[in-house]
Structure 1
Amino acid sequence: MHSNFYYDDGAYLSLYEQGAALMSAIDEKLLSFLCGYSYQEVHIPSLIHGSVLRKCGYFNSFPQHITPVGFLKERKVQGQSETVDKEIGFNDYYLTPAACLHIYPMLEHACKENSVYTTCEAVFRYENGDFRQSERLWEFSVREMVFVGSKKYVLDGLECIKAKSLAFAKNVFGEGKVQEASDNFYPSRENEVKKRLQQANGLKQELLLTLEGKEIAVASFNFHDHHFSNPFHFANGGEIVTGCVGFGLERWVLCAFEKSISESSIRTCP
């Protein structure tokens, strides 16, 4: 038990008053990085249908992240403290593993070229149950920014947010570095090829801060090319690509606690 948060062993982080205020201040600062862009704030649900995950290739690339949503079947279970597998049904719905996955279906019939979409929501990654308080939670909060448009527009947008993020980290946290990275693909031959292509083409970078003596990624910058615009039919003959930035808010908050960074210092940071 910490005076500012409660960590459930292997699932989530609950923030008390100071922690909640810190998270709000950090999120507001991150959102301010979009100043100068005409962006749309969107809301996404916790549930996502399997058809969307399959269209994104998520079952092949990251099956270890996926959390199926179960429900008790119509027969009431009374006088029992536990349920058993035969009493739980499934209906091809899952907990959302990445906030941006909901945005691409929205663009299938209403895509505006050279635009930005952002959301701040909870996402869920099971990670084969390998949970660690400062690194991996089953449920965590993400400020997501999705750039949609020409390759130049998307890459310029990613560079802009990356530069602002790094400056913020150094000004307030006194540190920060950006390095090449790759996604945590499920180990398979096909995914090893994806990982090598990602690394060879510099498609993913991460912003690192130090927490408990270890470097930890607090933001990622990802260029998707046509990975989403093609299957969701808004590529416009190959002209439109996408990229996204994701900020893991709990990690920022934990780093702020460790360095005794106050809400006011975040809000007054230029």
Structure 2
Amino acid sequence: MPTVHVRLSQRVPETLAPELMKRLFFAASSIEEFQLFTEDGSVVGVELTLNSADSAGVAEKIDRVVAEQVLTQRPLAPRSVWESPVVRSEFTDAFPELLAQDTVVVSGEGQVGFAEPLISLFGYLDRRLRAIALSLEGAREYQYPTLLPTSVLDRFGYFGSFPQFPMFVTRLHNDIDVYADFVERYREEQRVPDDLFAHCSNTDYCLPPTMCYHSFHQYQGRELAGGSVITARGKSFRYESRYHTSLERLWDFTIREIVFMGTPEFAAECRNSVMRQTFALMEELELAGGCEVANDHFFANADTAGKILSQRMMELKFEPLLPVAADRSIAVGSFNLHGHFFGESFDIKGPDGGPVASGCVGFGLERLGHAFLSQHGSDPARWPTAVAQEIG
């Protein structure tokens, strides 16, 4: 595959480099890998590995991403709200060993299955997070179906802000002629026809990009007598354009979600309580890391920069970041406040008749497990005593 160096038309401050990195794979489908190049505190170029020879077209798209989605943002210094006392200088890439042992199996792009001891490890991590959720007053646990009505995401404009993530669930038209034509062509070609979706029209359902939307849908049009806390564990799906063979970033992943609705003070106190307990848990698990102010990965439109700045300035989103290598950390969850946005979008009212405020906390169990394995290794004998004793 060709490798090309693209010189950016405009310099990108290093403080905005993470925003550029989030978006590069979505700039063009021909980008397989990339590496940023810096000069005097700015990103000045990108080395690309491409699966096609159209480097000029890709360079133009990257310049558009820089101009429309990155440089419109205001650089802000990172702000940390927690730092683990645990310090690590050595890390393990456990995935190759787990793969060789048949402990993990790669089922497809961004899809990984796993056996013991990972089943028990991830189960243990979830039990600890679930206990934090259920420690909140009035908390109730639900199990939701996988499919989410597309109309739920429509209610608050998800597709206009995150068009890069959704995956729709569809089916063939319920028409005998369509079925007959499909079967005939499949038998002739011995594969699914290239124009399959011309015979599909149903887009009423999609795969959930996160679990909290199930909860807001559940409470749509209702009036709450007081504060409510809901927790659920379930599968979520987010298309990330490129996947490496690891547990770090998956297309099909598991989230432990906690949603709280009530007054702004109630939502803030719930989030703060979960944050405090989570930091204590990370320290108990002997994990190095920290927690910083963050923002969502909005797709560029007229108000993107304002959304990101507002989210960061008001500290509506924090992310716990755990190192998985000497020079790299990953977010294993997020702690969020929404204001009245979802209360208004889903017509959820409080005792005063006005829209409730809300917040949510979500943990990617596979990502948290990946960070744990990167710091402690794949041998349970080396894991913290509390974990090893719990899972046997």
| Fold match (TM-score > 0.5) | yes
Q: Which has the larger radius of gyration?
A: 2
Change (3 A) 1:244 1:36: closer
Change (3 A) 1:83 1:33: same
Which residue of the partner structure matches residue 194 of structure 1? Answer: 307
Return the match for 2:171 from 71, 77, 97.
Answer: 71
Q: Which moved more, 1:108-117 or 1:173-182?
A: 108-117
Cα distance, 1:96 vs. partner?
A: 0.8
Q: Which moved more, 1:11-20 or 1:33-42?
A: 33-42
Amino acid at match of 2:278: S
Amino acid at match of 2:386: S
- 8 Å Cα contact 2:228/2:262 also seen in 1: yes
User: Are positions 1:150 and 2:263 aligned together?
Assistant: yes
Change (3 A) 1:139 1:234: same
- 8 Å Cα contact 1:204/1:221 also seen in 2: yes
Q: Which moved more, 1:181-190 or 1:57-66?
A: 181-190
Unaligned stretches of 5+ residues in structure 1: none
- 8 Å Cα contact 2:223/2:349 also seen in 1: no
Unaligned stretches of 5+ residues in structure 2: 1-98, 174-178
- 8 Å Cα contact 1:151/1:241 also seen in 2: yes
Taking the aligned partners of 1:17 and 1:72, their CA distance within structure 2 comes to 39
Taking the aligned partners of 1:249 and 1:53, their CA distance within structure 2 comes to 23
User: Are positions 1:11 and 2:110 aligned together?
Assistant: yes
**SS in structure 2 at match of 1:71:** coil
- 8 Å Cα contact 1:25/1:263 also seen in 2: no
**SS in structure 1 at match of 2:170:** strand
Which residue of the partner structure matches residue 185 of structure 1? Answer: 298
Q: What TM-score do the two structures reach when normalised by structure 1?
A: 0.91
Taking the aligned partners of 1:263 and 1:171, their CA distance within structure 2 comes to 8
Spell out, residue by residue over 1:45-99, the C-alpha distance to the aligned partner (whole angstroms, 9 max, x if none): 2211221111121101111010111324533434344213433314122111111
Change (3 A) 1:20 1:264: farther
Amino acid at match of 1:66: P
Which residue of the partner structure matches residue 73 of structure 2? Answer: none
Q: What TM-score do the two structures reach when normalised by structure 2?
A: 0.64
- 8 Å Cα contact 2:112/2:247 also seen in 1: no
The share of aligned pairs that are identical, in percent, is: 29
- 8 Å Cα contact 2:347/2:355 also seen in 1: no
User: Are positions 1:56 and 2:156 aligned together?
Assistant: yes
Q: CA-atom RMSD, angstroms? A: 2.1
Amino acid at match of 2:154: R
Taking the aligned partners of 1:192 and 1:85, their CA distance within structure 2 comes to 39
1:1-270 to structure 2, matched below 5 A, reads 1-3=99-101, 4-8=103-107, 10-34=109-133, 35-73=135-173, 74-75=179-180, 76-77=182-183, 78-79=186-187, 80-88=189-197, 89-92=200-203, 93-112=205-224, 113-127=226-240, 129-132=241-244, 133-213=246-326, 214-236=328-350, 237-238=353-354, 240-258=356-374, 259-260=376-377, 262=383, 265-266=386-387
Taking the aligned partners of 1:25 and 1:81, their CA distance within structure 2 comes to 44
**SS in structure 1 at match of 2:117:** helix
Spell out, residue by residue over 1:12-64, the C-alpha distance to the aligned partner (whole angstroms, 9 max, x if none): 22111211111110000011113242211112222112211111211011110
Change (3 A) 1:197 1:253: same
Q: Which moved more, 1:89-98 or 1:202-211?
A: 89-98
Change (3 A) 1:50 1:134: same
Amino acid at match of 1:194: K
